Amino acid sequence: MGRKSFRAGTIPYVLMREIGSLIKKIRKWYIQFRAEHEVASFTAPMIAKGETKLSRNTHLGQNCHFNGMQIEGRGKVSIGNNFHSGKDCMIITEMHNHRGEALPYDHTNIRHHVRIGDQVWLGNRVTIIGEVSIGNGAIIQAGAVVVKDIPDLAIAGGSPATVFKMRDRDHYERLLNEKKFT
């Protein structure tokens, strides 16, 4: 009478749940480890989540947060302090040479450099292509394709990305001076 009965499958379910939790922790650690070791330089803290894959030509400032960033190509990427990216973002720094000696392109590639300033926020699925600079405090709307420079404090979106609004400079500078960063 004092004996408890277990439902069939209870132990395997609990075990599988614990194994799944352990796999998630290992994957999270691996993504962070890989991001820290594949960049040219970074200043802690740097947080990498999701499907983040950076390049050896990437230089990061302090307090960069990636929620799924892919950096493709061998061009240099410089990202300033207090950067945040949404999910599924991509920076493409190398292009096929369509002006070369064959069609549609030849065997050579053209490298481009990308500079992203301080306090920049990229929404989900932003793509940055080619030789561009994104200014300090800029916000790039989700789904935007950046193919030309974006000035400081601009809010841009669309394909190709265009500036449609500017941040309030006084508000931005007050928060900057108070060092209110996430």
Q: Residue 100: which pLDDT band, with cuts at 50, 70 and 90? A: confident
Instruction: Judge contact between 125 and 113, C-beta under 8 A.
Output: no
Identify the weakest region by mean pLDDT among 59-63, 110-114, 178-182: 178-182
d(CA 85, CA 66): 5
How much is the mean pLDDT over the chain? 92
* Burial per residue of 70-80, b for 16 or more beta-carbon CB atoms within 10 angstroms, e otherwise: bbebebbbbbb
Q: Which of 98, 112, 113, 171 is catalytic?
A: 98
d(CA 106, CA 126): 28
According to CATH, the topology of domain 10-177 is: UDP N-Acetylglucosamine Acyltransferase; domain 1 (2.160.10)
Instruction: Judge contact between 171 and 181, C-beta under 8 A.
Output: no
The residue extents of the domains of the chain are 10-177
Q: What is the pTM assigned to this prediction?
A: 0.87
- Is residue 112 part of the annotated active site? The answer reads no
Q: Between the CA atoms of 21, 23, 26 and 29, what dihedral angle is there, to the nearest 10 degrees?
A: -70
Reply yes or no on whether the pLDDT at 10 is more than 80: no
* Tokens representing residue 165 in the block: 């609004």
